[in-house]
Amino acid sequence: MALDHCAPYPRLLGDIGGTHARFGWIQSADVGIAHIGTYACSEYEGLGAAIAGYLEEHRRPAPVSCALGIATPVVSDSVTMTNRAWSFSISDIRRRFGLERLVVLNDFAALALSIPTLAPQELRPVGGGQAIAGATVAILGAGSGLGVSGLMAVHGSLVPITGEGGHASLGASEAIEDRLLSILRGWFGHVSAERVLSGPGIVNLYRASCELAGLPAEPLEPPEVTARAVQGIDACCSDAIALFFGFLGSFAGNLALTLGARGGVYIGGGIVPQLGDRIRTSGFRERFESKGRYRDYLAHIPTWVIADPAAVALRGANRGLDDPGSGLRVAAPA
């Protein structure tokens, strides 16, 4: 169905992850995103309730347009989240809030759409390299799960590449990783990249490190593992974070090779930005480039950490409202 490119105002924007939902509001075309609020998904029975809670708290009326980036594949009107027990119908959400236009897209497609809007101060470089203007870029990020996307120039438009690369099988590059993956296969059968490159994945790495060391694992949550590693008070936690960055570098390098991402690799998600400069002193960049004959190819590709990816993703969702395209599911008036 044909839609005018410019969606009407006011607009509600959302970035919906497995742990938190963040919303923002744009009142008119001449102002930026305001009234940003973050909510624990566990406190709401579903997406509709979270939206209603945001509107009530910020005393906003029902929006005219809405764009939601969500951490799951969006392939039909019915959407079920991967890492949160939320399911909803896109058309039902549109009717419930009386929306003139609703766009629902994968959260990393939204993050991809935001890439052209990023200012230098919103990025932290890791390693060297020089981006080639107009070339494909790669985006990945660890949070409740592992998101993967890209951005490709097609006929003068930037089109997000959507997929579920976080669920691809994970490989090992070092002997210790071989032993660790053997443990994880015993626990899960198939070991995807998300099994280690996520919040739950950090706990998996910690537990497996304890098993390799012959030590009992404590019932730690992801923030506790990272805090102990940063403080240097638990060797298994430190090993877990070192393994995390090693796997992340290998995975990011594989993604750059697969997409030919000479426009650079951007790292979002909730975990890496919160760890500050730790990625720079880790094995991430060495593992990113360590691809045999293609080391020099990867050495020329820059990598950046997006300082506040959740806020940036709201900007990407907003762009999706004005340029519905690949990877976006649009619900228009009946």
- Model confidence pLDDT, tens digit, residues 221-274: 999 999 999 999 999 999 999 999 999 999 999 999 999 999 999 999 999 998
69 alpha-carbon distance from chain centroid: 10
- What is the average per-residue pLDDT within 81-108? 94
The string of pLDDT tens digits covering residues 45-54 is 999 999 999 9
> What is the Cα–Cα distance from 68 to 313, expressed in whole angstroms?
10
Would you place residue 332 in the very low, low, confident or very high pLDDT band (cuts 50, 70, 90)? very low
> What is the Cα–Cα distance from 105 to 324, expressed in whole angstroms?
10
The string of pLDDT tens digits covering residues 133-169 is 989 999 999 999 999 999 997 887 778 998 899 999 9
Question: pLDDT at position 297, please?
Answer: 98
Residue 333 has pLDDT above 80, yes or no: no
> What is the Cα–Cα distance from 302 to 45, expressed in whole angstroms?
41
DSSP assignment string, 271-292: HHHHTTTHHHHSSHHHHHH--G
Structure token digits, residue 174: 């070092």
Burial of 218 (0-12, 13-18, 19+ CB in 10 A): middle
> What is the Cα–Cα distance from 223 to 227, expressed in whole angstroms?
6
Paired with 123 in beta bridges are: 306
Residue 2 has pLDDT above 70, yes or no: no
Average per-residue pLDDT for the chain? 92
Would you place residue 3 in the very low, low, confident or very high pLDDT band (cuts 50, 70, 90)? very low
Lowest mean pLDDT among 18-32, 284-298, 309-323: 309-323
- What is the average per-residue pLDDT within 67-84? 93
- Which of the 8 DSSP states describes residue 127? S
Contact of 107 with 152, CB cutoff 8 Å: no
Lowest mean pLDDT among 1-5, 86-90, 278-282, 309-313: 1-5
pTM as predicted: 0.91
Contact of 58 with 42, CB cutoff 8 Å: no
Structure token digits, residue 33: 């995103």
